[in-house]
Structure 1
Protein backbone atom coordinates (compact mmCIF):
# COMPACT_ATOMS: atom_id res chain seq x y z
CA UNK A 1 0.00 0.00 0.00
CA UNK A 2 1.36 3.40 -1.00
CA UNK A 3 1.98 5.89 1.85
CA UNK A 4 -0.41 8.83 1.98
CA UNK A 5 0.47 12.22 0.53
CA UNK A 6 0.62 14.61 3.48
CA UNK A 7 2.15 17.98 4.57
CA UNK A 8 -0.93 20.16 5.25
CA UNK A 9 1.33 23.21 5.59
CA UNK A 10 2.72 22.80 2.06
CA UNK A 11 1.66 24.97 -0.87
CA UNK A 12 0.36 23.64 -4.19
CA UNK A 13 1.76 25.46 -7.24
CA UNK A 14 -0.80 25.80 -10.05
CA UNK A 15 -0.44 24.69 -13.66
CA UNK A 16 1.24 27.52 -15.57
CA UNK A 17 3.32 28.66 -12.58
CA UNK A 18 6.41 30.64 -13.58
CA UNK A 19 9.53 28.57 -14.16
CA UNK A 20 11.73 28.20 -11.09
CA UNK A 21 14.66 29.47 -13.14
CA UNK A 22 13.33 32.93 -12.22
CA UNK A 23 13.82 32.15 -8.54
CA UNK A 24 11.14 31.75 -5.88
CA UNK A 25 9.39 34.10 -3.45
CA UNK A 26 11.04 34.66 -0.11
CA UNK A 27 10.79 31.44 1.89
CA UNK A 28 12.27 29.80 4.97
CA UNK A 29 15.86 28.78 4.16
CA UNK A 30 15.94 25.11 3.29
CA UNK A 31 12.45 25.09 1.76
CA UNK A 32 11.98 23.14 -1.45
CA UNK A 33 9.91 24.03 -4.52
CA UNK A 34 9.22 21.34 -7.14
CA UNK A 35 7.48 22.18 -10.42
CA UNK A 36 6.40 20.18 -13.49
CA UNK A 37 4.20 20.98 -16.49
CA UNK A 38 0.99 20.26 -14.58
CA UNK A 39 1.86 22.22 -11.45
CA UNK A 40 4.02 21.75 -8.40
CA UNK A 41 4.50 21.91 -4.68
CA UNK A 42 6.46 23.88 -2.08
CA UNK A 43 7.12 23.00 1.54
CA UNK A 44 9.44 24.02 4.35
CA UNK A 45 12.26 21.96 5.82
CA UNK A 46 11.64 19.35 8.50
CA UNK A 47 13.48 16.10 9.08
CA UNK A 48 11.56 13.11 7.72
CA UNK A 49 9.47 15.07 5.23
CA UNK A 50 9.05 13.46 1.82
CA UNK A 51 7.81 15.07 -1.40
CA UNK A 52 6.71 12.44 -3.95
CA UNK A 53 6.67 12.88 -7.73
CA UNK A 54 5.47 10.62 -10.52
CA UNK A 55 2.65 9.81 -12.94
CA UNK A 56 -0.19 8.99 -10.51
CA UNK A 57 -1.56 12.41 -9.51
CA UNK A 58 -3.57 11.22 -6.45
CA UNK A 59 -0.49 9.58 -4.92
CA UNK A 60 2.12 12.31 -5.45
CA UNK A 61 2.73 15.93 -4.56
CA UNK A 62 4.03 16.73 -8.07
CA UNK A 63 2.58 14.99 -11.12
CA UNK A 64 5.15 14.29 -13.85
CA UNK A 65 4.35 12.66 -17.20
CA UNK A 66 0.70 12.05 -16.37
CA UNK A 67 -0.06 10.55 -19.81
CA UNK A 68 3.20 8.60 -20.22
CA UNK A 69 3.28 4.99 -19.03
CA UNK A 70 7.08 4.93 -19.19
CA UNK A 71 7.03 7.17 -16.12
CA UNK A 72 6.43 5.26 -12.89
CA UNK A 73 3.38 6.03 -10.75
CA UNK A 74 5.79 7.12 -8.02
CA UNK A 75 9.00 7.80 -9.86
CA UNK A 76 10.98 9.50 -7.12
CA UNK A 77 10.99 11.44 -3.90
CA UNK A 78 12.64 14.39 -2.20
CA UNK A 79 13.55 13.54 1.40
CA UNK A 80 14.57 16.05 4.06
CA UNK A 81 17.15 14.83 6.54
CA UNK A 82 20.27 16.17 8.23
CA UNK A 83 19.32 19.68 7.19
CA UNK A 84 19.28 18.93 3.45
CA UNK A 85 16.96 17.73 0.72
CA UNK A 86 17.96 14.45 -0.95
CA UNK A 87 16.78 12.99 -4.26
CA UNK A 88 15.88 9.29 -4.47
CA UNK A 89 14.81 7.38 -7.59
CA UNK A 90 12.01 4.89 -6.89
CA UNK A 91 10.95 4.42 -10.53
CA UNK A 92 11.87 1.96 -13.24
CA UNK A 93 13.85 4.37 -15.40
CA UNK A 94 16.82 6.57 -14.41
CA UNK A 95 16.55 10.29 -13.72
CA UNK A 96 18.93 12.62 -15.56
CA UNK A 97 20.60 15.44 -13.65
CA UNK A 98 22.79 18.31 -14.86
CA UNK A 99 26.27 17.37 -15.97
CA UNK A 100 25.06 14.19 -17.71
CA UNK A 101 24.70 12.47 -14.34
CA UNK A 102 22.11 9.68 -14.00
CA UNK A 103 20.42 8.47 -10.81
CA UNK A 104 19.15 4.90 -10.99
CA UNK A 105 16.67 3.12 -8.77
CA UNK A 106 18.22 1.39 -5.74
CA UNK A 107 21.15 3.83 -5.79
CA UNK A 108 21.74 5.86 -2.64
CA UNK A 109 19.94 9.23 -2.56
CA UNK A 110 22.01 12.24 -3.61
CA UNK A 111 21.94 15.67 -1.91
CA UNK A 112 20.47 18.65 -3.74
CA UNK A 113 22.41 21.90 -3.77
CA UNK A 114 20.83 25.22 -2.87
CA UNK A 115 19.30 27.00 -5.84
CA UNK A 116 17.96 25.64 -9.11
CA UNK A 117 18.29 22.02 -10.30
CA UNK A 118 16.50 20.73 -13.44
CA UNK A 119 15.73 16.99 -13.54
CA UNK A 120 14.64 15.05 -16.64
CA UNK A 121 12.52 11.90 -16.38
CA UNK A 122 12.75 9.88 -19.63
CA UNK A 123 9.47 8.78 -21.17
CA UNK A 124 8.16 7.08 -24.30
CA UNK A 125 9.15 7.92 -27.89
CA UNK A 126 12.15 10.04 -26.84
CA UNK A 127 10.04 12.26 -24.60
CA UNK A 128 11.67 13.78 -21.53
CA UNK A 129 9.62 15.27 -18.68
CA UNK A 130 11.11 18.26 -16.89
CA UNK A 131 10.93 18.51 -13.10
CA UNK A 132 12.34 21.77 -11.75
CA UNK A 133 13.67 21.85 -8.19
CA UNK A 134 14.60 24.93 -6.19
CA UNK A 135 16.06 24.73 -2.68
CA UNK A 136 16.10 28.11 -0.96
CA UNK A 137 19.20 29.35 0.81
CA UNK A 138 19.70 32.27 3.17
CA UNK A 139 20.15 34.68 0.26
CA UNK A 140 17.64 33.12 -2.16
CA UNK A 141 15.43 35.40 -4.19
CA UNK A 142 14.69 36.33 -7.78
CA UNK A 143 17.92 36.58 -9.83
CA UNK A 144 19.24 40.07 -10.46
CA UNK A 145 19.74 41.30 -14.01
CA UNK A 146 23.39 41.60 -15.05
CA UNK A 147 23.06 43.41 -18.38
CA UNK A 148 26.32 45.33 -18.22
CA UNK A 149 28.51 42.81 -16.43
CA UNK A 150 31.38 41.20 -18.35
CA UNK A 151 30.67 37.69 -19.63
CA UNK A 152 32.31 34.94 -17.58
CA UNK A 153 34.75 33.01 -19.76
CA UNK A 154 34.21 29.26 -20.08
CA UNK A 155 36.19 26.99 -17.83
CA UNK A 156 39.38 26.08 -19.70
CA UNK A 157 41.41 22.90 -19.51
CA UNK A 158 45.00 22.62 -20.70
CA UNK A 159 45.68 19.68 -23.01
CA UNK A 160 49.02 18.48 -24.34
CA UNK A 161 49.32 18.17 -28.16
CA UNK A 162 49.10 14.37 -27.89
CA UNK A 163 46.03 14.56 -25.63
CA UNK A 164 44.27 17.00 -27.93
CA UNK A 165 44.93 14.88 -31.02
CA UNK A 166 43.67 11.71 -29.32
CA UNK A 167 40.52 13.45 -28.09
CA UNK A 168 39.77 15.03 -31.47
CA UNK A 169 39.99 11.60 -33.11
CA UNK A 170 38.01 9.94 -30.31
CA UNK A 171 35.28 12.60 -30.40
CA UNK A 172 35.29 13.90 -33.94
CA UNK A 173 31.51 13.46 -34.14
CA UNK A 174 31.04 15.96 -31.29
CA UNK A 175 32.92 18.60 -33.30
CA UNK A 176 31.29 17.96 -36.67
CA UNK A 177 27.70 18.47 -35.52
CA UNK A 178 26.55 14.87 -35.77
CA UNK A 179 22.99 14.61 -34.33
CA UNK A 180 23.79 11.87 -31.79
CA UNK A 181 27.57 11.69 -31.52
CA UNK A 182 29.33 8.80 -29.80
CA UNK A 183 32.99 8.27 -28.95
CA UNK A 184 34.95 5.89 -31.13
CA UNK A 185 36.27 2.70 -29.57
CA UNK A 186 39.88 2.55 -28.36
CA UNK A 187 40.74 0.34 -31.34
CA UNK A 188 39.08 2.62 -33.91
CA UNK A 189 40.84 5.63 -32.41
CA UNK A 190 44.23 3.87 -32.46
CA UNK A 191 43.81 2.86 -36.12
CA UNK A 192 42.99 6.44 -37.18
CA UNK A 193 45.89 7.82 -35.15
CA UNK A 194 48.25 5.27 -36.70
CA UNK A 195 47.19 6.50 -40.15
CA UNK A 196 47.99 10.09 -39.11
CA UNK A 197 51.23 9.26 -37.27
CA UNK A 198 52.58 5.92 -38.53
CA UNK A 199 55.73 6.10 -36.40
CA UNK A 200 54.10 7.10 -33.10
CA UNK A 201 53.26 3.57 -31.96
CA UNK A 202 49.59 4.17 -31.30
CA UNK A 203 47.73 1.21 -29.77
CA UNK A 204 44.34 0.85 -28.10
CA UNK A 205 46.04 0.67 -24.69
CA UNK A 206 48.06 3.82 -25.36
CA UNK A 207 44.91 5.68 -26.39
CA UNK A 208 43.07 4.48 -23.27
CA UNK A 209 45.92 5.65 -21.01
CA UNK A 210 45.97 9.13 -22.59
CA UNK A 211 42.22 9.59 -22.26
CA UNK A 212 42.11 8.17 -18.72
CA UNK A 213 44.78 10.67 -17.68
CA UNK A 214 42.63 13.57 -18.91
CA UNK A 215 39.48 12.17 -17.25
CA UNK A 216 41.29 11.76 -13.93
CA UNK A 217 42.68 15.31 -14.12
CA UNK A 218 39.29 16.86 -14.82
CA UNK A 219 37.60 14.72 -12.17
CA UNK A 220 40.06 16.06 -9.58
CA UNK A 221 39.03 19.57 -10.65
CA UNK A 222 35.42 18.78 -9.77
CA UNK A 223 33.95 17.82 -13.16
CA UNK A 224 31.16 15.26 -12.47
CA UNK A 225 30.39 12.06 -14.33
CA UNK A 226 33.98 11.02 -15.09
CA UNK A 227 34.38 8.07 -12.69
CA UNK A 228 32.86 4.61 -12.63
CA UNK A 229 31.57 5.23 -9.09
CA UNK A 230 29.59 8.30 -10.17
CA UNK A 231 28.09 6.83 -13.31
CA UNK A 232 27.38 3.26 -12.15
CA UNK A 233 26.66 0.24 -14.28
CA UNK A 234 26.04 -0.35 -17.14
CA UNK A 235 28.93 1.94 -18.03
CA UNK A 236 28.95 1.82 -21.84
CA UNK A 237 30.39 5.01 -23.39
CA UNK A 238 29.24 7.23 -20.52
CA UNK A 239 32.66 8.24 -19.17
CA UNK A 240 34.06 9.28 -22.54
CA UNK A 241 30.76 10.86 -23.59
CA UNK A 242 30.73 13.00 -20.43
CA UNK A 243 34.39 13.92 -20.94
CA UNK A 244 33.94 14.99 -24.55
CA UNK A 245 30.81 17.02 -23.82
CA UNK A 246 32.63 18.87 -21.04
CA UNK A 247 35.61 19.61 -23.29
CA UNK A 248 33.37 20.88 -26.09
CA UNK A 249 31.20 23.02 -23.77
CA UNK A 250 34.31 24.54 -22.18
CA UNK A 251 35.79 25.20 -25.67
CA UNK A 252 38.88 23.13 -24.81
CA UNK A 253 37.94 21.38 -28.06
CA UNK A 254 36.41 23.30 -30.98
CA UNK A 255 35.50 22.43 -34.59
CA UNK A 256 38.72 24.13 -35.75
CA UNK A 257 40.63 21.31 -34.03
CA UNK A 258 39.38 18.97 -36.77
CA UNK A 259 42.21 20.52 -38.83
CA UNK A 260 44.51 18.22 -36.84
CA UNK A 261 43.02 15.28 -38.70
CA UNK A 262 44.40 16.54 -42.00
CA UNK A 263 47.88 15.59 -40.93
CA UNK A 264 50.25 15.33 -38.01
CA UNK A 265 50.51 18.58 -36.01
Structure 2
Protein backbone atom coordinates (compact mmCIF):
# COMPACT_ATOMS: atom_id res chain seq x y z
CA UNK A 1 0.00 0.00 0.00
CA UNK A 2 1.44 3.37 -1.01
CA UNK A 3 2.11 5.97 1.66
CA UNK A 4 -0.31 8.89 1.74
CA UNK A 5 0.50 12.57 2.09
CA UNK A 6 -1.53 15.28 3.83
CA UNK A 7 -3.93 17.23 1.64
CA UNK A 8 -2.21 20.49 2.53
CA UNK A 9 1.28 20.42 1.03
CA UNK A 10 2.30 23.85 2.32
CA UNK A 11 4.02 22.28 5.33
CA UNK A 12 5.32 19.14 3.61
CA UNK A 13 7.47 19.31 0.50
CA UNK A 14 9.27 16.91 -1.80
CA UNK A 15 13.01 16.96 -2.49
CA UNK A 16 13.84 15.71 -6.00
CA UNK A 17 16.33 12.94 -6.62
CA UNK A 18 18.75 15.51 -8.05
CA UNK A 19 18.94 17.36 -4.73
CA UNK A 20 22.56 17.79 -3.64
CA UNK A 21 23.86 16.63 -0.28
CA UNK A 22 22.14 18.24 2.70
CA UNK A 23 25.65 18.73 4.10
CA UNK A 24 26.08 21.62 1.65
CA UNK A 25 23.18 23.66 3.02
CA UNK A 26 19.44 24.15 2.61
CA UNK A 27 16.99 26.31 0.72
CA UNK A 28 15.29 29.02 2.81
CA UNK A 29 13.13 27.33 5.43
CA UNK A 30 11.33 27.94 8.70
CA UNK A 31 13.43 27.31 11.80
CA UNK A 32 13.42 23.65 12.87
CA UNK A 33 12.04 22.41 9.54
CA UNK A 34 13.08 18.78 9.01
CA UNK A 35 14.83 17.73 5.79
CA UNK A 36 15.42 14.04 5.02
CA UNK A 37 17.17 12.79 1.87
CA UNK A 38 17.53 9.23 0.60
CA UNK A 39 18.61 7.55 -2.62
CA UNK A 40 15.55 8.59 -4.63
CA UNK A 41 14.95 12.03 -3.15
CA UNK A 42 13.43 13.13 0.10
CA UNK A 43 11.06 15.39 1.98
CA UNK A 44 10.89 18.54 4.06
CA UNK A 45 8.47 18.75 6.99
CA UNK A 46 7.58 21.90 8.91
CA UNK A 47 7.76 21.57 12.71
CA UNK A 48 4.00 22.07 13.09
CA UNK A 49 2.93 19.79 10.23
CA UNK A 50 1.95 16.90 12.51
CA UNK A 51 3.46 14.57 9.94
CA UNK A 52 5.40 11.43 11.00
CA UNK A 53 8.01 10.72 8.32
CA UNK A 54 8.64 7.03 7.58
CA UNK A 55 11.79 5.69 5.90
CA UNK A 56 12.89 2.23 4.78
CA UNK A 57 13.71 0.14 1.70
CA UNK A 58 10.19 -0.45 0.34
CA UNK A 59 9.44 2.73 -1.58
CA UNK A 60 5.63 2.27 -1.80
CA UNK A 61 5.44 1.90 2.00
CA UNK A 62 7.65 4.82 3.04
CA UNK A 63 8.09 8.54 2.47
CA UNK A 64 11.88 8.39 2.00
CA UNK A 65 13.60 5.34 0.55
CA UNK A 66 16.92 3.99 1.88
CA UNK A 67 18.70 0.65 1.51
CA UNK A 68 17.06 -0.32 -1.79
CA UNK A 69 17.94 -3.90 -2.74
CA UNK A 70 19.30 -4.84 0.70
CA UNK A 71 16.89 -7.33 2.32
CA UNK A 72 18.53 -6.75 5.72
CA UNK A 73 17.05 -3.24 5.80
CA UNK A 74 13.44 -3.31 6.97
CA UNK A 75 10.67 -2.27 4.60
CA UNK A 76 9.70 0.36 7.19
CA UNK A 77 12.89 0.91 9.16
CA UNK A 78 12.32 4.11 11.06
CA UNK A 79 10.01 7.01 11.84
CA UNK A 80 10.93 10.62 12.60
CA UNK A 81 8.29 12.46 14.62
CA UNK A 82 7.93 15.85 16.30
CA UNK A 83 7.68 15.45 20.07
CA UNK A 84 7.84 18.21 22.70
CA UNK A 85 9.48 20.70 20.31
CA UNK A 86 12.15 18.20 19.22
CA UNK A 87 12.52 15.87 16.25
CA UNK A 88 12.85 12.27 17.45
CA UNK A 89 14.21 9.26 15.55
CA UNK A 90 12.45 5.95 16.26
CA UNK A 91 14.13 2.76 15.03
CA UNK A 92 11.37 0.27 14.19
CA UNK A 93 13.64 -1.96 12.09
CA UNK A 94 15.96 -4.84 12.94
CA UNK A 95 19.30 -3.26 12.04
CA UNK A 96 20.80 -0.56 14.26
CA UNK A 97 21.07 3.04 13.08
CA UNK A 98 24.42 4.74 13.69
CA UNK A 99 24.62 8.44 14.52
CA UNK A 100 27.81 10.55 14.50
CA UNK A 101 30.18 9.64 17.30
CA UNK A 102 29.45 5.89 16.88
CA UNK A 103 26.19 6.19 18.86
CA UNK A 104 23.89 3.27 17.93
CA UNK A 105 20.11 3.45 18.02
CA UNK A 106 19.00 -0.17 18.27
CA UNK A 107 15.70 -1.59 17.11
CA UNK A 108 12.95 -0.33 19.40
CA UNK A 109 15.09 2.56 20.65
CA UNK A 110 14.79 6.29 19.98
CA UNK A 111 17.02 9.35 19.93
CA UNK A 112 16.53 13.10 19.66
CA UNK A 113 17.95 14.75 16.54
CA UNK A 114 19.99 17.93 16.96
CA UNK A 115 19.83 21.10 14.88
CA UNK A 116 22.02 21.05 11.80
CA UNK A 117 23.28 18.15 9.70
CA UNK A 118 23.12 14.55 10.96
CA UNK A 119 24.13 11.64 8.72
CA UNK A 120 22.31 8.46 9.76
CA UNK A 121 23.70 5.06 8.75
CA UNK A 122 21.63 1.88 8.76
CA UNK A 123 24.33 -0.63 9.69
CA UNK A 124 24.05 -3.66 7.40
CA UNK A 125 26.22 -6.82 7.38
CA UNK A 126 27.73 -5.94 4.00
CA UNK A 127 27.11 -2.21 3.62
CA UNK A 128 26.01 0.81 5.61
CA UNK A 129 23.18 2.83 4.05
CA UNK A 130 23.18 6.62 4.38
CA UNK A 131 20.10 8.67 5.19
CA UNK A 132 20.83 12.40 5.34
CA UNK A 133 18.93 14.45 7.92
CA UNK A 134 19.12 18.16 8.55
CA UNK A 135 17.08 20.33 10.90
CA UNK A 136 17.02 24.01 9.97
CA UNK A 137 18.71 26.20 12.53
CA UNK A 138 16.69 28.40 14.87
CA UNK A 139 16.12 32.05 14.04
CA UNK A 140 19.33 34.05 14.23
CA UNK A 141 19.88 36.59 16.96
CA UNK A 142 19.71 40.31 16.22
CA UNK A 143 22.70 41.43 14.19
CA UNK A 144 23.37 37.94 12.81
CA UNK A 145 22.50 36.64 9.32
CA UNK A 146 19.07 35.07 9.18
CA UNK A 147 17.31 32.44 7.06
CA UNK A 148 19.53 30.53 4.67
CA UNK A 149 22.74 32.31 5.69
CA UNK A 150 22.35 31.36 9.34
CA UNK A 151 21.64 27.73 8.46
CA UNK A 152 25.04 27.13 6.92
CA UNK A 153 26.90 28.04 10.12
CA UNK A 154 26.04 25.02 12.27
CA UNK A 155 29.58 23.60 12.04
CA UNK A 156 32.70 25.03 10.46
CA UNK A 157 34.46 23.09 7.74
CA UNK A 158 38.24 22.74 7.73
CA UNK A 159 40.20 24.36 4.93
CA UNK A 160 42.14 21.90 2.78
CA UNK A 161 44.32 22.56 -0.23
CA UNK A 162 43.42 20.65 -3.43
CA UNK A 163 46.27 18.19 -2.96
CA UNK A 164 45.41 17.65 0.72
CA UNK A 165 41.78 16.96 -0.18
CA UNK A 166 42.78 14.52 -2.93
CA UNK A 167 45.04 12.51 -0.62
CA UNK A 168 42.52 12.49 2.25
CA UNK A 169 39.63 11.43 0.02
CA UNK A 170 41.81 8.60 -1.27
CA UNK A 171 42.87 7.65 2.26
CA UNK A 172 39.31 7.72 3.60
CA UNK A 173 37.39 6.41 0.60
CA UNK A 174 36.12 3.33 2.46
CA UNK A 175 34.33 5.67 4.88
CA UNK A 176 32.88 7.71 2.01
CA UNK A 177 31.65 4.54 0.31
CA UNK A 178 29.90 3.56 3.57
CA UNK A 179 31.67 0.23 3.86
CA UNK A 180 30.99 -1.57 7.15
CA UNK A 181 33.69 -1.01 9.81
CA UNK A 182 35.84 1.07 7.46
CA UNK A 183 39.57 1.61 7.95
CA UNK A 184 41.97 4.03 6.20
CA UNK A 185 43.84 2.68 3.21
CA UNK A 186 47.49 1.81 3.77
CA UNK A 187 50.09 4.31 2.58
CA UNK A 188 51.15 1.84 -0.11
CA UNK A 189 47.55 1.61 -1.35
CA UNK A 190 47.19 5.41 -1.38
CA UNK A 191 50.43 5.84 -3.32
CA UNK A 192 49.49 3.14 -5.82
CA UNK A 193 46.03 4.57 -6.43
CA UNK A 194 47.23 8.15 -6.80
CA UNK A 195 50.05 7.02 -9.11
CA UNK A 196 47.52 5.28 -11.33
CA UNK A 197 45.30 8.35 -11.21
CA UNK A 198 48.14 10.80 -11.96
CA UNK A 199 50.95 8.82 -13.65
CA UNK A 200 53.03 11.96 -14.30
CA UNK A 201 53.15 12.80 -10.59
CA UNK A 202 55.71 11.48 -8.12
CA UNK A 203 53.35 9.78 -5.70
CA UNK A 204 55.30 7.87 -3.07
CA UNK A 205 53.92 6.63 0.21
CA UNK A 206 56.23 9.06 2.00
CA UNK A 207 54.76 12.04 0.15
CA UNK A 208 51.18 10.98 0.95
CA UNK A 209 52.03 10.34 4.61
CA UNK A 210 53.80 13.72 4.89
CA UNK A 211 50.77 15.58 3.48
CA UNK A 212 48.37 13.90 5.91
CA UNK A 213 50.73 14.41 8.86
CA UNK A 214 50.78 18.15 8.14
CA UNK A 215 46.96 18.26 8.17
CA UNK A 216 46.80 16.34 11.45
CA UNK A 217 49.30 18.70 13.05
CA UNK A 218 47.41 21.77 11.84
CA UNK A 219 44.03 20.52 13.09
CA UNK A 220 45.47 19.22 16.38
CA UNK A 221 45.44 22.78 17.73
CA UNK A 222 41.66 22.48 18.03
CA UNK A 223 40.96 18.73 17.71
CA UNK A 224 42.21 16.07 20.12
CA UNK A 225 43.32 12.58 19.16
CA UNK A 226 45.39 13.56 16.12
CA UNK A 227 48.88 13.38 17.66
CA UNK A 228 50.75 10.21 18.57
CA UNK A 229 51.49 11.47 22.09
CA UNK A 230 47.71 11.64 22.74
CA UNK A 231 47.06 7.98 21.85
CA UNK A 232 48.14 5.02 24.02
CA UNK A 233 50.07 2.33 22.11
CA UNK A 234 49.59 0.54 19.85
CA UNK A 235 48.62 3.53 17.71
CA UNK A 236 47.92 1.62 14.48
CA UNK A 237 45.38 3.43 12.28
CA UNK A 238 43.92 5.46 15.16
CA UNK A 239 45.39 8.83 14.15
CA UNK A 240 44.16 8.63 10.56
CA UNK A 241 40.82 7.19 11.68
CA UNK A 242 40.32 10.13 14.06
CA UNK A 243 41.28 12.59 11.33
CA UNK A 244 38.91 11.09 8.77
CA UNK A 245 36.09 11.01 11.34
CA UNK A 246 36.60 14.71 12.07
CA UNK A 247 36.56 15.57 8.36
CA UNK A 248 33.34 13.57 7.89
CA UNK A 249 31.57 15.08 10.89
CA UNK A 250 32.38 18.60 9.72
CA UNK A 251 31.45 17.67 6.11
CA UNK A 252 34.90 18.83 5.03
CA UNK A 253 34.86 15.74 2.82
CA UNK A 254 31.66 14.10 1.59
CA UNK A 255 30.64 11.21 -0.63
CA UNK A 256 30.46 13.62 -3.58
CA UNK A 257 34.25 14.12 -3.30
CA UNK A 258 34.80 10.57 -4.56
CA UNK A 259 34.66 12.18 -8.00
CA UNK A 260 38.25 13.29 -7.32
CA UNK A 261 39.26 9.65 -7.74
CA UNK A 262 37.66 9.50 -11.17
CA UNK A 263 40.44 9.19 -13.76
CA UNK A 264 38.56 11.35 -16.25
CA UNK A 265 38.43 14.31 -13.86
CA UNK A 266 41.90 13.94 -12.43
CA UNK A 267 44.31 16.84 -12.81
CA UNK A 268 47.99 17.02 -11.82
CA UNK A 269 48.32 17.91 -8.16
CA UNK A 270 50.24 20.99 -7.09
CA UNK A 271 53.33 20.44 -4.94
CA UNK A 272 52.43 19.43 -1.42
Q: How does 1:176-255 map to 2 (within 5 A)?
A: none
Q: 1:25 to 1:168 in 2, by over 3 A?
A: same
3-state SS of paired residue (2:60):
helix
Q: Find out whether 1:155 has 2:227 as its counterpart.
A: no
Equivalent pairs counted in the alignment come to 172
Q: Find out whether 1:173 has 2:236 as its counterpart.
A: yes
Are the aligned partners of 1:86 and 1:110 in contact in 2 as well (CA < 8 Å)?
yes
Are the aligned partners of 1:174 and 1:248 in contact in 2 as well (CA < 8 Å)?
no
Once residues 39 and 74 of structure 1 are traced to their aligned partners in structure 2, the CA distance between those partners, rounded to angstroms, is 16
Once residues 127 and 42 of structure 1 are traced to their aligned partners in structure 2, the CA distance between those partners, rounded to angstroms, is 26
Q: 1:25 to 1:249 in 2, by over 3 A?
A: closer
3-state SS of paired residue (1:121):
strand
Cα drift, residue 4 of structure 1: 5.0
Q: How does 1:80-159 map to 2 (within 5 A)?
A: 80-107=82-109, 109-124=110-125, 126-137=126-137, 138-139=139-140, 141=148, 143=152, 153-156=221-224
Equivalent in the alignment of 1:7: 6
Equivalent in the alignment of 1:224: none
Cα drift, residue 73 of structure 1: 0.4
Are the aligned partners of 2:45 and 2:51 in contact in 1 as well (CA < 8 Å)?
no
Once residues 56 and 146 of structure 1 are traced to their aligned partners in structure 2, the CA distance between those partners, rounded to angstroms, is 35
3-state SS of paired residue (1:119):
strand
Once residues 249 and 19 of structure 1 are traced to their aligned partners in structure 2, the CA distance between those partners, rounded to angstroms, is 18
Q: What TM-score comes out, normalization by structure 2 length? A: 0.54
Q: How does 1:49-64 map to 2 (within 5 A)?
A: 49-64=51-66
Cα drift, residue 101 of structure 1: 0.9
Are the aligned partners of 1:94 and 1:122 in contact in 2 as well (CA < 8 Å)?
yes
Equivalent in the alignment of 2:35: 33
Indicate which of 67, 70, 74 corresponds to 2:69: 67
Structure of higher CA gyration radius: 1
Once residues 71 and 56 of structure 2 are traced to their aligned partners in structure 1, the CA distance between those partners, rounded to angstroms, is 10
Unaligned segments of structure 1, at least 5 residues: 178-244, 251-265
Unaligned segments of structure 2, at least 5 residues: 141-146, 160-217, 247-272
3-state SS of paired residue (2:222):
coil
Are the aligned partners of 1:30 and 1:135 in contact in 2 as well (CA < 8 Å)?
yes
Are the aligned partners of 2:2 and 2:62 in contact in 1 as well (CA < 8 Å)?
no
Once residues 41 and 73 of structure 1 are traced to their aligned partners in structure 2, the CA distance between those partners, rounded to angstroms, is 18
Cα drift, residue 156 of structure 1: 3.4
Q: 1:28 to 1:155 in 2, by over 3 A?
A: same
